[in-house]
Amino acid sequence: MTDVPTYHLRVAEEADVESVLALRRHAEQWLRDAGIEQWTKSEYGAGVMKGWIGAGSTFVVQTDDGDIIGSLSLDAGDADFWTPEELSEPARYLYKFILRSDHRGNGLGDVLLDWASYRTESTGDLYLRLDCWRDNTGLHNYYLRRGFQYIDTRPHPIRMSGALFERSAELRLAQSAPLRLIDGNLGHQFHPVPGVPRSQG
Ligand SMILES: CC(C)(COP(=O)(O)OP(=O)(O)OC[C@H]1O[C@@H](n2cnc3c(N)ncnc32)[C@H](O)[C@@H]1OP(=O)(O)O)[C@@H](O)C(=O)NCCC(=O)NCCS
């Protein structure tokens, strides 16, 4: 038994498509209830999610009970927003970062951002980047408070994303989160310490 919440992170599989879509719908509902326009006008189908999962770049976070309560993807940059020159730089791009509401605000999000930085670093990349909803200053502030720097806003004729952020892949901010994240790939707990993660202590 552990005295702190334990989460398990692993690569998403095709069998997870419905769970990840359910998370997305949950986030859409939360955004709608909060009066935030982000994601409320889009439909997100199983086909799209299967594509992401098939590419092997999506990760899910589970509780000890096996409930999928979070997701994130790390992939190449979106050419709708980043310039060819930026896309040639050593960076990973964060997408589909979602936590179920009952697992937010407890430090897990910060640990996952550190994990995403670690993963970015471990593939030899220097920057963790993302594009997000252009007008959502609440979300921009979330990332700014977590060490991301604002790069630019690039309007798109149809899509509402385009606010661009990046942070150094070396950054680790969640030093004292009262939880454990077990990385199924590493086979042990992820420790958000700068540089290579330590083995389980
Ligand atoms: C983004 C997310 C994973 C972060 O989880 P977390 O690290 O536990 O952080 P919290 O959920 O506690 O959010 C911290 C603050 O950011 C705000 N915030 C989070 N997502 C937001 C969003 N999409 N729009 C506006 N504000 C948002 C929260 O309301 C909270 O504000 P407060 O400090 O004033 O209460 C989680 O909030 C989430 O799933 N949000 C909805 C999906 C989403 O927008 N993902 C980002 C896509 S780029």
Nearest CA to 166 out of 127, 125, 192 is that of: 127
Ligand 1 atom nearest to 113, measured from its CA: 7
Q: For the whole model, what pTM was predicted? A: 0.95
With a 6 A CB cut-off, is 62 part of the ligand 1 pocket? no
Q: In what order do the strands lie in the sheet with 68-75?
A: 149-153, 161-168, 127-133, 91-99, 68-75, 58-63, 6-11, 180-183, 188-189
Tens-place pLDDT, residues 136-195:
999 999 999 999 999 999 999 999 999 999 999 999 998 676 899 999 988 899 988 764
Tens-place pLDDT, residues 90-109:
999 999 999 999 999 999 99
- For ligand 1, the distance from its centroid to the CA atom of residue 163, given in whole angstroms, is 16
Question: The domain 6-187: what is its CATH number?
Answer: 3.40.630.30
Partners of 127 in the beta sheet?
A: 91, 168
* Percent residues over pLDDT 70 in the chain: 93
Domain locations in the chain as residue ranges = 6-187
